[in-house]
Chains A and B, each alone.
Chain A
Amino acid sequence: MPLLSITTFLPLLGALVILVLKPKNLKTTYGIGIGTSALAFISSVLIWLRGIDAGFSQVEQLSWIPSLGIAYRLGVDGISFPIVILTTFLFLTALIYSAKIEKRANTYVMLFLMLEMACLGVFMSLDLFLFYVFFEITLVGMYFIIAEWGHENSKQAALTFFLYTLLGSLFLLLAFLSLYIFSGTFDMRALIANPPLTGLAAALTFWGLFIAFAIKTPLVPVHTWLPAAHTEAPAAGSAILAGILLKLGAYGFIRFSLQMTPGAFQQFAPYVIVIAVVTALYGALVALAQTDIKRLVAYTSVNHMGYMMFGVAAAAALGAGTETPALDGATLQIISHGVVTGLLFLLVGALQDRTGTRDMDQMSGLLKTHPVLSGLFIVAAFASLGLPGLAHFPAEFQIFLGGFEVSPVATGFIILGLLITTAFYLRAIQRVFMGEASGGLEKVADLGPRELWAFIPLLAAIVLIGVYPDSLLSMINATTDLLGF
């Protein structure tokens, strides 16, 4: 059975069903949405059960435009599959959480399902052209979700998002063209097995890819679309944006920059390391100065993606043939950040629903009135600041361990990010959840079943990855070993 294609296009099927049936009540709409994304999740678990090899496996291939060497090629390996399962998982929980939005619910669910299809397509594509098509669809879907269902300044934020990503797509297109021209194939497996570029072409292609993915990831200084988009997007949109869409960039660095232009990456790794360190520290510092809790969480993404980049760059600097934990850590960081930040954004949404504000100075004492919400937020916050036993620790520990081998000084700096992250989460927790409760909130109920159904699975994943990282790491490590990192 072509499980990969089934997983990818199941959400699209759900969207078509909604388009045709045009259900009138919310229950049917969300039922279809949650149902199909649940099926996609199950289908991705089946892929897992069939066994993920170190190299690309379960490949599904059909010729498409033979004259150009373009084909429909899907496949997974130990790096892409964890992200695939993260995608189906996070979309499922985000849709469950969304099931109260009444504003044009049909369109909302359709957009979400379309976005899910596109993301799955990106992570499973083994063809440059197919990858690019899916990559662009994600941009459109996210644009409308922010613009239509966002908060006060959503139009402006969506526009910034669009402008930046458009610029990124342009560089991506150029880089892909160069890869194609020098190799004559769109098959990513061939490009990885024999990186075609050398010299100036490799350097230019590397920087083209770098700019494209740096905008998506994002890295400083091309990150300013992120806080704007995150703050204005609806809660579930922010969760998907942070959890999945940023990972397009992260995945791109590993799949394209590291594997298709390894020589150039190794050459430029020192610069990338500096950018990563600046990104991590700068993101953390700006977060420290925030009063808007959603912006704060948004900036933690900048910080965490800085760590991720650091791990990839450390692996690149060592070059293939040197075993390093850095790339394992960076890949796991993608997953950890997805579940942790996804949960944090949904929690912030729940918080905003209850208090009607995102300003931390206007909230106080929620531990007293809403112990379950507060408790979950505290655990998620500590997960985000890297507490052992929760999801980020195994990722970050390995990144820093690998980074220390490459550059102890850079590691000494970037590790300070852990301290700053700790500081702003503690401040936020103290301001929002501790202290005396402000009046009027006693009557607002704590988390309801819909929210708990979304939050508890995420929390379980956070704890599982933290306590038993080997569940994913063995798969990731098999592939990074094969690649020589």
Chain B
Amino acid sequence: MIYLLLIFLAPAAASLWTLFGGKKEGYVSLAGAAISTGASAALFWSVAGGFAASWSFAGFPGLPFRLEVSYLNGLLSLVVGLVATLIFLYAIGYMGEQKGKWRFWSSISLFLGAMQLLLFAGDWILFVIAWEVLGFCSYLLISTKHWNAETGRAANKVFLINRFADLGLYIGVFVIILGSGSSKIAEVPQASLSQVGALALLLAAAGKSAQVPFQSWLAAAMKGPTPVSALLHSATMVAAGIVLLIKAFPLFSPGMLVWIGAVGGITILMTGLTAIFSDDIKEMLAASSSSQLGFMVLAIGAGSPGAALAHLVAHAFMKSSLFLGAGIWQHGAGSTQFEQLTGAGKKLKVTFTGFGVAAVALAGIPPFVGYFSKDGVLAAGLQSSLPEWYFLAALGGALLTAMYMSRALGILWKGEAGEIQNSRGLRWMQGGLLAMLVFVIGGGFLLHNMMEMAGFTLPKAQAAQIGGLLAALAGLVAGWLMAGKTYHHSAVKFIRNNYPLAGGYHVLVNRPVMQLARRCRRIDESIHRVVLQAGRSALKLSEAAGVSDGLLHRGVFGFGKFGLRLGNWSRRSDERGIDRLIAFLVAKVQALGRYGRRIQSGLVHRELLWSVWGLVVFVALMFLILM
């Protein structure tokens, strides 16, 4: 329990420290992340020895919050912790000269705490909480440079698309809770989920993990600082969608798995193509993230959460390394456009080597970690109910992956280098990158064991190994040849911009909704005008007829409204209620007319005084009667 608390509370404390203006933001946040990861490692050590536990505490009535420690949660927590710590290390260098530091560090620490909470959530409501806080942190982090109009728009787009998908999670969780009467994340559920519930969860996962048709937010998210892209949009936040599918896997009926597999397969191919034609290194990596997450979704669709988990772990290290490399170039060349980066690899050889190793690993070349995990996905495809489709989609994806990685390497190596500056934080940044590579190089040999411990199997098949390797090699060669060539065909542009069908979200959703909103506003204003008009006419009427009852009038003056009401109520008892009621109504409208007049003559304060005195009299009367 103490470890578990440390995992959340260390980053949370660091976040609060920087929020309230504490000094040395970067180092404090790094310390928070390191302590959290240390606790994670200690916890992992004990779960590896067979420890498991769960705690529940007050949440909603009848639906308590739960924290669950299992091997799966511990493993994911350790991976997230390690990746985050190294990225924090890197970010100290990256953010060295940037403005808006306290906001950045505070949000990214909170983000880490929320991600860890998501992993250990043992009930769906806590899961939803962590899930949405992730989105919020992502919004804050992307808009780090809030003075720039473009980042503001990008942050809005990211958060809106995420929120839309979150509604899917809400609905899915409602279906689960109402179906089972409990919000517990059960390993062995009573019954599988209804179609609505399953599709809603798929929507949530597709949104968070940037699957088709939500792939475009990830490209927009690249407007944020590069450490943010490396942590949120490769290893953690997008991975939350996969974590959701893995945790909900026992709930899916076989019929639903086909849908999941279809989303994954389509995403692998579509976003893989986007990555190939991308002209910006960060957008290329973003598209690649969608595509790699597609592999995981495909594996789940193929019925093998083990393969998905293995690829999730492997991808976290590989993609973070790639982003860290991209960030170093961004600092050196002042841009992430490929045009500005040609030949940059020759100037920064250490960085290029690191980037290269991670790229080759992602392409699926042994002995790096990506080879093992990609094999797992391919084999899972072969063993599924629709082997041709799943295997072919994954194989095509492997080919595309190798192509875009090799093309990026080619661009960075070939050609004349522009001017590259050595930025101040280079050492911190390279340190973070190189430490990450340890896991990329060595991690593959541990994957099988880890999956078995987590209660999953990592499928293996010879056809998958051979096919995957051939696809990777072919892709590497093709990509290297593609490097340096530019394409201007309109179809290429369409693919590069993430398939903006019929004008994209802006035309399809934004504009009609805004039109509807404006129409509602006009309706609202006209209702208001009508009411005002009616009110004014009523006032005039009452003034014209306002001579009738002088006595009642004085009553209003003397006692204010309360005296009047009191009078009416006591008189109501002499059984001529209706008559009195009407008189009362007339009096009220009259009084209103007089109010209106008197306000205009500026005597409100006197009126007020009367109200207060009226109240005093009223209370005195009340007490008298009570005695």
Contact B521 A286 (CB under 8 A): yes
Minimal beta-carbon separation of B603 from chain A (angstroms): 12
Which residue of chain B has its CB nearest to the CB of A412? B171
Number of A-B contacts (CB under 8 A): 193
Minimal beta-carbon separation of A394 from chain B (angstroms): 6
CA distance A147 to B178 in the complex (A): 49
Which residue of chain A has its CB nearest to the CB of B64? A470
Interface hits, B531-563 → A, CB 8 Å: 531-532, 535, 538, 560-562
Which residue of chain B has its CB nearest to the CB of A403? B174
CA distance A9 to B59 in the complex (A): 36
Minimal beta-carbon separation of B124 from chain A (angstroms): 11
Please tell me which one of the listed residues B125, B592, B619 contacts residue A397 in the complex, with CB atoms under 8 A apart: B125
Contact A426 B562 (CB under 8 A): no
Please tell me which one of the listed residues B60, B163, B592 contacts residue A419 in the complex, with CB atoms under 8 A apart: B163
- Residues in A neighbouring B528, C-beta threshold 8 A: 160, 224, 227-228
Q: Is residue B518 within 8 Å, beta carbon to beta carbon, of the partner chain?
A: yes
CA distance A473 to B612 in the complex (A): 38
Q: Is residue B501 within 8 Å, beta carbon to beta carbon, of the partner chain?
A: no
Q: Is residue A190 within 8 Å, beta carbon to beta carbon, of the partner chain?
A: no
- Residues in B neighbouring A368, C-beta threshold 8 A: 146-147
Minimal beta-carbon separation of A399 from chain B (angstroms): 11
Q: Is residue A183 within 8 Å, beta carbon to beta carbon, of the partner chain?
A: no
Contacting chain B: which of A42-50, A161-169, A249-257? A161-169
CA distance A114 to B125 in the complex (A): 42
Minimal beta-carbon separation of B204 from chain A (angstroms): 13
Contact B592 A405 (CB under 8 A): no
Contacting chain A: which of B148-156, B382-390, B441-449? B148-156
Interface hits, B551-608 → A, CB 8 Å: 560-562, 565-566, 569-570, 573, 577, 585, 588, 592, 595-596, 599-600, 604-605, 607-608
Contact A422 B535 (CB under 8 A): no
Contact B622 A416 (CB under 8 A): no
CA distance A231 to B252 in the complex (A): 50
Q: Is residue B128 within 8 Å, beta carbon to beta carbon, of the partner chain?
A: yes
Minimal beta-carbon separation of B15 from chain A (angstroms): 12
Contact B178 A401 (CB under 8 A): yes
Q: Is residue B111 within 8 Å, beta carbon to beta carbon, of the partner chain?
A: no
- Residues in B neighbouring A81, C-beta threshold 8 A: none
Q: Is residue B625 within 8 Å, beta carbon to beta carbon, of the partner chain?
A: yes
- Residues in A neighbouring B604, C-beta threshold 8 A: 144, 147-148
Q: Is residue A25 within 8 Å, beta carbon to beta carbon, of the partner chain?
A: no
Instruction: Map CB proximity to A onto B223-245 as digits: 1 under 8 Å, 0 otherwise.
Output: 00000000000000000000000
CA distance A148 to B598 in the complex (A): 12
Q: Is residue B17 within 8 Å, beta carbon to beta carbon, of the partner chain?
A: no
Which residue of chain A has its CB nearest to the CB of B174? A404
- Residues in A neighbouring B159, C-beta threshold 8 A: 422, 426
CA distance A365 to B143 in the complex (A): 13
Q: Is residue B520 within 8 Å, beta carbon to beta carbon, of the partner chain?
A: yes
Q: Determine which residue in B177, B524, B528 has the highest number of CB atoms from chain A within 10 A of its CB, and name it.
A: B524
Which residue of chain A has its CB nearest to the CB of B534? A163
- Residues in A neighbouring B129, C-beta threshold 8 A: 388-389, 393
Minimal beta-carbon separation of A56 from chain B (angstroms): 20
- Residues in A neighbouring B167, C-beta threshold 8 A: 415-416, 418-419
CA distance A477 to B177 in the complex (A): 18
Please tell me which one of the listed residues B156, B520, B562 contacts residue A133 in the complex, with CB atoms under 8 A apart: B562
Minimal beta-carbon separation of B114 from chain A (angstroms): 9
CA distance A382 to B159 in the complex (A): 11
CA distance A156 to B533 in the complex (A): 11
CA distance A137 to B614 in the complex (A): 11
Q: Is residue A460 within 8 Å, beta carbon to beta carbon, of the partner chain?
A: no
- Residues in A neighbouring B133, C-beta threshold 8 A: 387-389
- Residues in A neighbouring B174, C-beta threshold 8 A: 400-401, 404, 411
CA distance A323 to B181 in the complex (A): 11
CA distance A387 to B167 in the complex (A): 12
Contacting chain B: which of A65-73, A94-102, A304-312, A343-351? A65-73
Q: Is residue A436 within 8 Å, beta carbon to beta carbon, of the partner chain?
A: yes
Contact A388 B132 (CB under 8 A): yes
Interface size of A as a range: 35 or more
CA distance A131 to B163 in the complex (A): 42
Q: Is residue A435 within 8 Å, beta carbon to beta carbon, of the partner chain?
A: yes
Please tell me which one of the listed residues A164, A365, A468, A474 contacts residue B147 in the complex, with CB atoms under 8 A apart: A365
Q: Is residue B477 within 8 Å, beta carbon to beta carbon, of the partner chain?
A: no
Q: Is residue B61 within 8 Å, beta carbon to beta carbon, of the partner chain?
A: yes
Contact A65 B149 (CB under 8 A): no
- Residues in B neighbouring A111, C-beta threshold 8 A: 608
Instruction: Map CB proximity to B onto A259-292 as digits: 1 under 8 Å, 0 otherwise.
Output: 0000000000000000000000010011011100
- Residues in A neighbouring B132, C-beta threshold 8 A: 387-388, 393
- Residues in A neighbouring B1, C-beta threshold 8 A: none
- Residues in A neighbouring B481, C-beta threshold 8 A: none
CA distance A118 to B616 in the complex (A): 13
CA distance A159 to B521 in the complex (A): 21
CA distance A12 to B622 in the complex (A): 14
Minimal beta-carbon separation of B579 from chain A (angstroms): 14
Contact B171 A404 (CB under 8 A): yes
Q: Is residue A104 within 8 Å, beta carbon to beta carbon, of the partner chain?
A: yes
Instruction: Map CB proximity to A onto B30-70 as digits: 1 under 8 Å, 0 otherwise.
Output: 00000000000000000000000000001111110000000
Q: Is residue A336 within 8 Å, beta carbon to beta carbon, of the partner chain?
A: no
Which residue of chain A has its CB nearest to the CB of B569? A129
Q: A67-B573, A398-B60 are in contact. Are A419 and B164 (CB under 8 A)?
A: yes
CA distance A160 to B529 in the complex (A): 10
Contact A166 B588 (CB under 8 A): yes
Q: Is residue A64 within 8 Å, beta carbon to beta carbon, of the partner chain?
A: yes
Minimal beta-carbon separation of A182 from chain B (angstroms): 14
Q: A65-B625, A388-B133, A426-B159 are in contact. Are A434 and B149 (CB under 8 A)?
A: yes
Q: Is residue A57 within 8 Å, beta carbon to beta carbon, of the partner chain?
A: no
Q: A159-B535, A415-B171 are in contact. Are A290 and B521 (CB under 8 A)?
A: yes
Minimal beta-carbon separation of A406 from chain B (angstroms): 11
Interface hits, A1-52 → B, CB 8 Å: 9, 12, 15-16, 19
Contact A382 B527 (CB under 8 A): no
Q: A104-B605, A398-B60 are in contact. Are A64 and B524 (CB under 8 A)?
A: no
CA distance A72 to B178 in the complex (A): 44
Contact B156 A427 (CB under 8 A): yes
Q: Is residue B517 within 8 Å, beta carbon to beta carbon, of the partner chain?
A: yes
Which residue of chain A has its CB nearest to the CB of B538? A163
Interface hits, B608-627 → A, CB 8 Å: 608, 611-612, 615-616, 618-619, 622, 625-626
Minimal beta-carbon separation of A280 from chain B (angstroms): 12
Interface hits, B72-129 → A, CB 8 Å: 125, 128-129
Contact B61 A422 (CB under 8 A): no
Q: Is residue A433 within 8 Å, beta carbon to beta carbon, of the partner chain?
A: yes
Q: Is residue A62 within 8 Å, beta carbon to beta carbon, of the partner chain?
A: yes
Q: Is residue B508 within 8 Å, beta carbon to beta carbon, of the partner chain?
A: no
Minimal beta-carbon separation of A42 from chain B (angstroms): 22
**Can you list 30 contacts pairing A with B, beta carbon distance less than 8 Å?**
A16-B616, A64-B622, A104-B605, A148-B604, A156-B532, A159-B535, A163-B531, A163-B535, A170-B585, A227-B528, A228-B528, A285-B521, A289-B517, A387-B136, A388-B128, A388-B129, A389-B129, A389-B133, A398-B60, A404-B178, A408-B196, A418-B167, A419-B167, A433-B146, A434-B149, A436-B147, A469-B59, A470-B58, A470-B59, A474-B61
A interface residue numbers (CB < 8 A to B): 9, 12, 15-16, 19, 62-65, 67-68, 72, 104, 107, 110-111, 114, 129, 132-133, 136-137, 140, 144, 147-148, 155-156, 158-160, 162-164, 166, 170, 177, 221, 224-225, 227-228, 282, 285-286, 288-290, 323, 325, 328, 365, 367-368, 382, 387-389, 393-394, 397-398, 400-401, 404-405, 408, 411-412, 415-416, 418-420, 422-423, 426-427, 430, 433-437, 468-470, 473-474, 477
Q: A166-B588, A388-B133, A470-B59 are in contact. List 17 more A-B contacts (CB 8 A).
A: A107-B608, A133-B562, A133-B566, A136-B561, A137-B562, A144-B608, A147-B599, A155-B599, A155-B600, A160-B535, A177-B577, A285-B520, A289-B518, A389-B133, A411-B174, A419-B164, A477-B61
In the complex, the 3 A-B pairs of residues with the closest C-beta atoms, listed nearest first: A388-B129, A470-B58, A477-B61
